[in-house]
């Protein structure tokens, strides 16, 4: 038992997140069941062994994994090795619309929120529009095993759905951000339907899956928006608590900080739009996230 505790201290020092928290109840057995591989992260190949030999084997494996993650972080120029998110919850949290974001009669409509209710020190990365199709981003995120979700606007992506098919094959969920990125509250019900449900149809046609998440352009919507979105298959409307750029962050909250479950927005942009590449933006946002002690989790595991 003592030996187990000592080893757990070593594990905790090595890896924050799934591996370390597996020691909390002092048993090895619980570990395999509760902490399967986090989405986008590699599964531990060997079945758990009992006793000191098993603990040592696991320590060796974790050391190896940490060395690999350190090497990848260094390769991509990250200031620190990203923290590992805990395994997703067995049951998704119940999400309600953020106070002040309600529409009249909206009780049965998809919830609009900027933060997912959780106590874990995790945040979610989301990327919008789709103008910049940088192959380096796909490689970088895959190698770093960082989950993110995309919200696509057809007019930005229709010239190259192949890029997003590749992204999807790497485990990224592609969601609805309308056909033409219009200011929805200024449109008639029929125009909104075309923008929102038209995007559902296009994404399903080109990428084989009908989205369940929708983000209105600029975060602007009205009751029609949510009713129409629901009518064509949308279950939730995640907005964002912070926005990432290559050289700074913008914050929704007065404390200018991250909070457990915060959704972070960024965009598929390149040097034409901002001062840096997609990789520069990821380096910047990951420095903020890791410095503040957060890991990146997959939005679809919680919503
Ligand atoms: Zn947008």
If DSSP states are collapsed to H, E and C, what string results for the chain?
A: CHHHHHHHHHHHHHCCCHHHHCCCCCCCHHHHHHCCCCCCCCCCCCCCCCHHHHHHHHHHHHHHHHHHHHHHHHHCCCCCCCECCCCCCCCCCCCCCCCCCCCCCCCCCCCEECECCCCCCEEEEEEEECCCCCHHHHHHHHHHCCCCEEEECHHHHCCCHHHHHHHHHCCCEEEECCCCCCCHHHCCHHHHHHHHHHHHHHHHHHHCCCCCEECCHHHCCCHHHHHHHHHCCCCEEECCCEEECCCCEEECCCCCCCCCCEEEEEECCCCCCCCCCHHHHHHHHHHHHHHCCCEEECHHHCC
Domain match, 28 and 159 both: no
Alpha carbon of 135 to ligand 1 centroid (Å): 20
- Find the domain containing 52 and state its range: 2-75
At 224, give phi and psi (nearest 5°): -55, -45
**47 Cβ contact partners less than 8 Å away, ≥ 6 residues apart:** 32
Alpha carbon of 216 to ligand 1 centroid (Å): 8
Domain match, 67 and 142 both: no
Given a cut of 60, is residue 43 above it in pLDDT? no
Task: Give the mean model confidence (pLDDT) for residues 246-262.
Answer: 97
* Percentage of residues in the chain having pLDDT higher than 70: 84
Given a cut of 70, is residue 3 above it in pLDDT? no
Task: Give the mean model confidence (pLDDT) for residues 253-277.
Answer: 95
Alpha carbon of 300 to ligand 1 centroid (Å): 19
Alpha carbon of 43 to ligand 1 centroid (Å): 34
Residue 175 domain-assigned (yes or no): yes
Task: Give the mean model confidence (pLDDT) for residues 20-24.
Answer: 39
Q: Which pTM was predicted?
A: 0.84
Closest CA to 144 of 59, 88, 83, 61: 83
Domain match, 185 and 66 both: no
Domain match, 133 and 270 both: yes
Tokens for 199?
């995007």
Alpha carbon of 142 to ligand 1 centroid (Å): 23
CA distances from 2 to 5, 51, 56, 111 (A): 5, 12, 14, 48
Domain match, 63 and 187 both: no
Domain count, the chain: 2
Alpha carbon of 95 to ligand 1 centroid (Å): 23
Task: Give the mean model confidence (pLDDT) for residues 196-222.
Answer: 97
Alpha carbon of 130 to ligand 1 centroid (Å): 9
Given a cut of 80, is residue 235 above it in pLDDT? yes
Task: Check which CATH number belongs to the domain holding 196 and give it.
Answer: 3.20.20.370
Alpha carbon of 181 to ligand 1 centroid (Å): 6
State which of 75, 100, 120 marks the end of a domain: 75
Residue 62 domain-assigned (yes or no): yes
Alpha carbon of 204 to ligand 1 centroid (Å): 19
Residue 205 domain-assigned (yes or no): yes
Q: 13 pLDDT band (50/70/90 cuts)?
A: very low
Alpha carbon of 302 to ligand 1 centroid (Å): 22
Domain match, 208 and 142 both: yes
Please name every residue paired with 129 in a beta bridge, in sequence order, or none if there are none. 152
Are the CB atoms for 279 and 143 separated by under 8 Å?
no
To which residue do tokens 């030999």 refer?
Answer: 53
Domain match, 128 and 70 both: no
- Report pLDDT for 47: 61
Distance CA 82, CA 109 (A): 36
Alpha carbon of 245 to ligand 1 centroid (Å): 14
Given a cut of 60, is residue 42 above it in pLDDT? no
State which of 75, 103, 134 marks the end of a domain: 75
Residue 128 domain-assigned (yes or no): yes
Residue 240 domain-assigned (yes or no): yes
Distance CA 213, CA 238 (A): 7
Pick 174 or 53 by higher pLDDT: 174
Domain match, 244 and 141 both: yes
Task: Give the mean model confidence (pLDDT) for residues 250-269.
Answer: 97
Are the CB atoms for 145 and 71 separated by under 8 Å?
no
Q: Give the pLDDT confidence of 61-115 residue by residue, as tens digits.
A: 999 999 999 999 999 999 999 999 999 999 999 999 999 999 998 889 999 999 9
* Percentage of residues in the chain having pLDDT higher than 90: 79
Handedness of CA 254, 257, 263, 266 (dihedral sign): positive
Residue 162 domain-assigned (yes or no): yes
Tokens for 78?
């990250």
Closest CA to 262 of 142, 121, 151: 121
Pick 135 or 10 by higher pLDDT: 135
Domain match, 231 and 173 both: yes
Q: 48 pLDDT band (50/70/90 cuts)?
A: low
Domain match, 216 and 266 both: yes
Domain match, 148 and 16 both: no
């Amino acid at each position: 038992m003592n030996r187990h505790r000592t080893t757990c201290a070593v594990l905790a020092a090595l890896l924050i997140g799934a591996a370390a928290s597996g020691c909390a109840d002092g048993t090895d057995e619980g570990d395999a069941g509760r902490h399967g591989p986090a989405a986008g992260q590699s599964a531990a190949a060997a079945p758990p062994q009992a006793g000191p030999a098993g603990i040592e084997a696991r320590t060796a494996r974790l050391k190896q994994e940490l060395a690999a993650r350190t090497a990848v972080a260094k390769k991509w120029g990250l200031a620190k090795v990203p923290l590992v998110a805990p395994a997703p919850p067995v049951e998704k949290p119940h999400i309600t619309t953020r106070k002040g974001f309600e529409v009249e009669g909206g009780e049965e409509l998809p919830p609009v929120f900027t933060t997912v209710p959780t106590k874990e020190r995790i945040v979610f990365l989301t990327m919008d529009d789709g103008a910049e199709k940088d192959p380096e981003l796909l490689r970088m995120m895959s190698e770093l095993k960082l989950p993110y979700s995309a919200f696509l606007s057809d007019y930005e992506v229709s010239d190259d759905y192949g890029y997003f098919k590749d992204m999807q094959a790497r485990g990224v969920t592609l969601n609805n951000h309308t056909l033409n990125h219009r200011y929805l509250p200024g449109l008639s019900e029929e125009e909104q339907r075309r923008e929102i449900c038209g995007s559902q149809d296009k994404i399903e046609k080109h990428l084989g899956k009908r989205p369940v998440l929708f983000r209105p352009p600029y975060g602007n919507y009205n009751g029609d928006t949510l009713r129409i979105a629901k009518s064509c298959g949308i279950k939730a409307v995640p907005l964002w608590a912070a926005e990432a750029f290559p050289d700074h962050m913008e914050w929704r909250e007065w404390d200018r900080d991250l909070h457990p479950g915060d959704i972070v927005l960024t965009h598929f942009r390149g040097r034409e739009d901002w001062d840096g590449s997609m990789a520069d933006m990821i380096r910047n946002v990951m420095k903020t996230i890791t410095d503040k002690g957060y890991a990146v989790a997959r939005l679809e595991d919680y919503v």
